[in-house]
Amino acid sequence: MADAEEAKTAPATPATPATPARLAKKKKQHWRPWLRAMHRDIGYVCVGLTFVYALSGLAVNHLTDWSDGDASFKTYSMTHEMGPLLGEDQAVADELRKRLAIDEKPKELYRPVPDELEILFEKSSLHVNTATGHVVEEGKKPRFILHVANWLHLNRGKKAWKYFADGYAAALLVLALSGMFMIAGKKGLIGRGAILVTLGIAIPVLYVTFSGP
């Protein structure tokens, strides 16, 4: 009880006085939480586009590794046995489109020799032997996800997409710049951060210097 009474009557330990130096330091670093919040939110917005551009960049960067040399489309070839196909070229083409469930209309029809008919579409073709009905179908099919990713990355869509691409590039610049100032002290830009930033700049500079553009 005595200890409790003494604790009640004992004067409270005075708080550390807020010196001008402490107030200045606190005020000086007041912007960092805002910077971290901005960096976080912009990063969340950029996640989807980062996946698109990263996947497309990897695919295009290894273009020669694709067996058909195209990261967006996969080439295919298949044969069909249709039996003798008689009639005018357009009638034969319409019959084959019906049997093979091809909705697209042909761009061109021609016969290199009397018994062979070439039916050309936008991204495929039918090589037809009208006497035997042997049909070779060749063409390109869009690769899953990569076709769309490359289409966006290479800015082959409508002109409006370039504004989204420019906005994404600007957001990456903001993320890069804000990331350098998020942490103070020896782990920030004046310490380890400076070494890593210098390393990141040096990699492309040295590569261009020694390899050439």
What is the reported pLDDT for 1?
A: 47
Is the sign of the CA dihedral 131, 133, 134, 137 positive or negative? positive
Rounded to two decimals, the pTM is 0.63
What is the reported pLDDT for 161?
A: 87
Please check the confidence at residue 181 and state whether its pLDDT lies above 60. Answer: yes
Please check the confidence at residue 26 and state whether its pLDDT lies above 60. Answer: no
- Average pLDDT in the 7-15 region? 53
Domain residues of the chain, as ranges?
33-67+145-200, 73-142
